[in-house]
Structure 1
C-alpha cells in the first residue's frame, strides 16, 4: 500500500496539468575598466521548446544590435591584458564546452554561448526575446552573460569573435530555480 501511495504522489505532477521548468533571472549592470556600474535591468532565461528563451528587460544601452554571449566564468570584473584593465575580461571567453574554438553564431556548430543579437531600440531599451537553440538554463550555472558594444557578424573574420567590440554590460548567472508552469 505504501508503495502505491509513493508512486501516486510521484506521478501526481504528471497529471495535474503543471510541469516544472527551469528559469533564471540575471541582473545586468554596466561595466567598464574599473568594474561594474549602474544597474541596467534583467534577463529572464527559461527553457523553451526550441532552446533557451532569453527575455531582456534592459535600458541604458546604445541603440542598435549588440553582440550577446554566455561567457565561461561567473565574474563581470575587469582583468589586465597587456598591462591595462579591460572591462569584463574576468568573464573569460565564450562558453565553449565542446572546445570547438569556432564562432559561428547561435545556429552554427561553434561556441555554445553564441546568442542571437540583442536588439536595442531608439530609447536604449531591449525587450525582444531571443531563442538560443544550442542552450539550456542548466548550461548557465557558473557562467556570466556579456553584452558587447557593437553588432556580431557570427564569424572570426575580419575580426575575432564576431567583432562586437568592447564588453559594455554583464551579469553573473545565479542558481536556476524550478518554476511551476501550466501545460496547455
Structure 2
C-alpha cells in the first residue's frame, strides 16, 4: 500500500512539474527562421553557401551562422532594407545584390555604427575561419525577427570597423553573399 502511494505521489508531482513547464515550451510564434544564403555577383545570384538561423531571445535577435565557401577573415554583416538579392545598377555599373538597397535604417541614424549605436541593420562582425566556414552565434540586441521579415541579410567582402571613416559603411566593400528573410 505504501509503495502504491509513493508511486501515485510521484506521478502527481511529475504531472504538476510538466504542466508548469508547458508554459515555457516554445510555440510556433517563437520558432526561428532559417534563411538560405547564396553567393552573389554583378551577374546574379549564385550557389547556396549555407544558412543563417534567426531566433528571438530576451537579448535580441540571435543569428546562428552555418556558412561555407567564404573568404577567410572578418566580414561586414548587415540587414539591408529590401528583400532582393539580385544585381542592379549603381553609379552607371551593375553591382552584386544592389537590389537589396542600403542598410536597414528605419530610425534614420545619421551614421553607420555598432549593433548598439548605428543603423538597426548593423550586425556584429562575421568571422570566417581558414577553411572558409562560419559557425558562430551572434546577437543583434535591438532587433526582433518581426523587424526584419521581408528584408535581406548581407555579407560583404571586407571587414567592418563600425565607422564611416576612412571608408563609408565600415569599409566592407562589395557584397558577396545575400539571403532574403521571408
| 1:70 equivalent in structure 2 | 79
What is the 5 A alignment of 1:11-160? 15-20=22-27, 21-108=30-117, 110-160=118-168
For the residue of structure 2 that corresponds to 1:161, the secondary structure is helix
**Deviation by residue 1:111-166 (Cα, 9 ceiling, x = unmatched):** 00000011100100000110111111111111000000010000111111001010
CA distance in 2, matches of 1:26, 1:122: 23
For the residue of structure 2 that corresponds to 1:45, the secondary structure is strand
For the residue of structure 1 that corresponds to 2:26, the secondary structure is strand
Q: TM-score, normalised on structure 1?
A: 0.84
Larger fraction in helix: 2
Ranked by relative contact order (alpha carbons within 8 Å, sequence separation 6 or more), the top structure is 1
CA distance in 2, matches of 1:73, 1:163: 21
Distance of aligned partners of 1:48 and 1:102 in 2 relative to their CA distance in 1, 3 Å threshold: same
CA distance in 1, matches of 2:21, 2:109: 38
After superposing on structure 2, the runs of 4+ consecutive aligned residues of structure 1 that deviate more than 2 Å are 12-17
Larger fraction in strand: 1
For the 8 Å contact 1:22–1:137, the answer to whether it is kept is no
Task: Supply the RMSD in Å over aligned alpha carbons.
Answer: 1.5
Q: CA deviation at 1:19?
A: 3.4
For the residue of structure 2 that corresponds to 1:123, the secondary structure is coil
CA distance in 2, matches of 1:38, 1:69: 20
CA distance in 1, matches of 2:179, 2:171: 21
Moved more, 22-31 or 65-74: 22-31
CA distance in 2, matches of 1:135, 1:91: 18
Structure 2 unaligned regions, length at least 5: 1-18
| 1:165 equivalent in structure 2 | 173
